[in-house]
Structure 1
Amino acid sequence: MTTSTVKTPAKSAYWAGVRDGAPFVLIAVPFATLFGVIATDAGLTLAQAMGFTILVIAGAAQFAAVQMMVEDASIAFVLLAALAVNLRMAMYSASLVPYLGAAPLWKRACVSYLNFDQTYITSVARYEARPEMSVSERVSYFMGVATPITPLWFTMTFVGIVAGQAIPDAWALDFIMPIMFLAMVSPMLKSLAHVAAAAMSVAVALALVDLPAGTGLLVAAGAAMLTGALVETWMERRAR
């Protein structure tokens, strides 16, 4: 057997990531298409909309920013809305450090660019289930998850921009976002602390729904983290 045909652990991890990331294509296709349509409606040119989706590559933040543009908000408020929605990525990055912090800088830069909801949640679940994975395997798996999603995100955004008004309103593609988050988060609720944090985030987000875009979500995220930490501490003390 030649060296080129040997399946290394890193290659195996990569293809496992591709397999686990493939189902998200069913969500990425309509989601990206919808963004392309909405970006066009907001007055963005083809170059602007594509630049937006390639540089930001974060659906929720893109939708929040474009919605603010549709409402004729100032640039400052558009940026604030996108930043508020995307601050969860900072939490994602912090939680990835124990798993990927020892990787070379260029690999961490690639992970940083491709660190969105699907890659993060799927990868962390894998890392927790298989703590014996090496850093190289973890990076390869992360990249594998991103492989089927990212090119389609770019491609279908372009399709949405070009198709524009040809997509009927009756399709109501905007339902994809909440379903996507529910599908990703539900399997992660493995303990009382997780459930309590999720319940608190929902309650606070609904209570603050009338606040400016993204503000309520930030408060809800903080309340959820505090609740989860308190419940976990309580459970550890009780176990002793």
Structure 2
Amino acid sequence: MSVSTAKAPAKNAYLAGVRDGWPFIFVVIPFSTLFGVVATDAGLTLAQAMGFTVLVIAGAAQFAALQMMMENAGIIFVLLAALAVNLRMAMYSASLVPHLGAAPLWQRALVSYLNFDQTYITSITRYEARPEMTVAERFQYFVGVATPITPLWYGMTLVGIYAGEAIPEAWALDFILPITFLAMVGPMMKSLAHVAAAAVSIIVALSLINLPSGTGLLIAALAAMVTGAAVETWMERRA
């Protein structure tokens, strides 16, 4: 097989990834713009906000950490909140190992950086549907999915930062962050376990509101995870 022929499947896989990834821009554009606006309103500088979005590149974790920062929580609590929200990425990584574990180290490092909800869900679905794909093709497809998403995530965050600077303080944008979380969590309420976890988190967080900033929220998050797992187990046994 010639070199040009060998490269063709990988190139085709990359283009297929780009094709499957571009519809996500309709979610990425408003979400990243909103982060830029809220980050500015929270007092982050241009360098801080952009460094945050480039290094973390995980919307839910960024908003969770930003919420804790706005409440003047300690750095440990900020990091723990972001880690709790992003624990699912560890499961994503583990499930990608059978498909990309044989890739070179630099490719695995790049996939690790670009591993977020959209790239993972789209790619793993493709891998399972087409087990004949080579490791090179899988890598190219993954990067292809990330190609239309990642630059927009950076760019629209920058747009949001400048937009936030232009918005008068009298507009009081503090309400945007809790509304954003409600919009994120609402569609996830698909089972009794989800509803139970949400209810417990609300009750515990409100009960512990007088604890040091951030402590109550982390305890509420832990209680919610335990509740969700317990209800899920109970439902499976009942079924």
Fold shared by both chains (TM-score > 0.5): yes
1:204 to 188, 191, 197: 197
Deviation at 1:201, TM superposition (A): 3.7
Aligned partners of 2:38 and 2:177 also within 8 Å: no
Q: In the alignment, what sits opposite 1:126?
A: 126
In 2: Cα distance, 1:166 partner to 1:15 partner: 38
In 1: Cα distance, 2:7 partner to 2:196 partner: 48
CA shift digits 1:174-206 (9 cap, x unpaired): 8677767888x89xxxxxxxx8xx653443233
Deviation at 1:134, TM superposition (A): 1.2
Deviation at 1:3, TM superposition (A): 7.3
Is 1:102–2:89 an aligned residue pair? no
With over 3 angstroms needed to count, the CA separation of the structure-2 counterparts of 1:7 and 1:165, relative to structure 1, is same
Q: In the alignment, what sits opposite 1:190?
A: none
Q: In the alignment, what sits opposite 1:14?
A: 14
In 2: Cα distance, 1:178 partner to 1:17 partner: 31
In 2: Cα distance, 1:98 partner to 1:121 partner: 15
- Tell me which amino acid in the other structure corresponds to 1:152: L
Matched ranges for 1:75-154 at <5 A: 75-154=75-154
With over 3 angstroms needed to count, the CA separation of the structure-2 counterparts of 1:74 and 1:174, relative to structure 1, is closer
In 1: Cα distance, 2:179 partner to 2:136 partner: 37
- What fraction of aligned residue pairs are identical, expressed as a percent? 63
Matched ranges for 1:1-240 at <5 A: 8-164=8-164, 166=166, 199-209=192-202, 210-211=204-205, 212-213=216-217
Partner-residue secondary structure (3-state), 2:133: coil
With over 3 angstroms needed to count, the CA separation of the structure-2 counterparts of 1:15 and 1:217, relative to structure 1, is farther
In 2: Cα distance, 1:27 partner to 1:153 partner: 10
User: Which runs of no fewer than 5 residues in structure 1 stay unpaired?
Assistant: 187-194, 236-240
CA shift digits 1:25-45 (9 cap, x unpaired): 001001000000111111110
Aligned partners of 1:204 and 1:216 also within 8 Å: no
TM-score, structure 2 length as denominator?
0.77
In 1: Cα distance, 2:217 partner to 2:65 partner: 9
In 1: Cα distance, 2:135 partner to 2:222 partner: 31
The number of residue pairs the alignment matches comes to: 222
- Tell me which amino acid in the other structure corresponds to 1:16: A
Aligned partners of 2:200 and 2:224 also within 8 Å: no
Where has structure 1 moved over 2 Å in runs of 4 or more?
2-7, 165-169, 172-183, 198-235
With over 3 angstroms needed to count, the CA separation of the structure-2 counterparts of 1:214 and 1:173, relative to structure 1, is closer
In 2: Cα distance, 1:6 partner to 1:101 partner: 21
In 2: Cα distance, 1:32 partner to 1:13 partner: 27
CA shift digits 1:121-178 (9 cap, x unpaired): 1111111111221111111111000000000000000010111054686xx6986777
* RMSD of aligned alpha carbons: 3.4
TM-score, structure 1 length as denominator?
0.77
With over 3 angstroms needed to count, the CA separation of the structure-2 counterparts of 1:218 and 1:40, relative to structure 1, is same
In 1: Cα distance, 2:79 partner to 2:122 partner: 28
